[in-house]
Structure formats: structure tokens, C-alpha cells
Amino acid sequence: MKYSKLNLAKEAISHKGFVKKIPDIFRMVKLWRKGVYPMRSIDIILPLLGILYVISPIDLLPEFAVPVLGVMDDLAVLSLTIPKLIKEVDKFLLWEAEQRLNGTKVIDAEIVK
């Protein structure tokens, strides 16, 4: 079985709801950079660095040198990065909803499709 970064990226993107949240990620980063959205820097920088690591051609364990381990390090980074990024985006969406309701605290929310 041949693995490639493209297949790994497709697998990571298939994470439930990830594709729908990509515009929210960009909006969250934009508001964070402007200083509007309060968030710790480490909570956004680490997941984004993890995704950049997987996308970049530079690897600690290259696929051509160590085929199985080269893919495994990318999978490990994705398995830590995607859920953390999704969690941060969910916090951002909750914050954004509170802002739209003029600062009313949202205590318990359920996402309805």
C-alpha cells in the first residue's frame, strides 16, 4: 500500500466537519490577529504549525528514506492537530454567537443541522 501526503491530507480533511470549518478558521485567525478575539497564542499557533509541517515537503522522517515511519509521523501530527484545531474553532464559534447576542452568555449549546 502506497501512502502519500495527498492521501493523508484527504484523510485528515474527511474528519467530520473539518471542510465546513475552514472559512471559520480563517475568520478566527483574522480576528485573533486584530486583537478582537481573545485567545492564547499557543492554542492557534501549534495546530497551524502542525498542519504546515504535514503540508511542507520537509520532514523529520522522509517518506522515501523510511516509508512506513515517514507516513506515521505525519499521521501522528494530524491526529493531534486536527482535533485541537476543531476544538478551538468550536470555541470561536461559541464566542462569535455570544457577540451577536450582545454579550449574552451561551451556557449550553447544541449544534443542529
pLDDT digits (tens, 9 = 90+) for 80-103: 888 888 888 888 888 888 787 775
C-alpha torsion sign, points 49, 36, 88, 12: negative
Mean pLDDT of 17-44: 86
C-alpha torsion sign, points 14, 97, 29, 73: negative
Q: Indicate whether 38 belongs to any domain.
A: yes
Q: What is the mean pLDDT of the chain?
A: 76
Mean pLDDT of 11-19: 59
Q: Indicate whether 60 belongs to any domain.
A: yes
How many structural domains does the chain have?
1
- Structural domain containing residue 62: 5-100
Q: Indicate whether 66 belongs to any domain.
A: yes
Q: Indicate whether 25 belongs to any domain.
A: yes
* pLDDT above 70 for 3: no
Q: Indicate whether 109 belongs to any domain.
A: no
Cα–Cα nearest to 43, from 86, 94, 105, 73: 86
Q: Indicate whether 49 belongs to any domain.
A: yes
pLDDT of residue 30: 92
* pLDDT above 70 for 1: no
Of the ranges 8-17, 42-51, 80-89, which one carries the lowest mean pLDDT score? 8-17
Q: Indicate whether 11 belongs to any domain.
A: yes
Would you give the distance in Å from CA 33 to the centre of its chain? 17
* pLDDT above 70 for 7: no
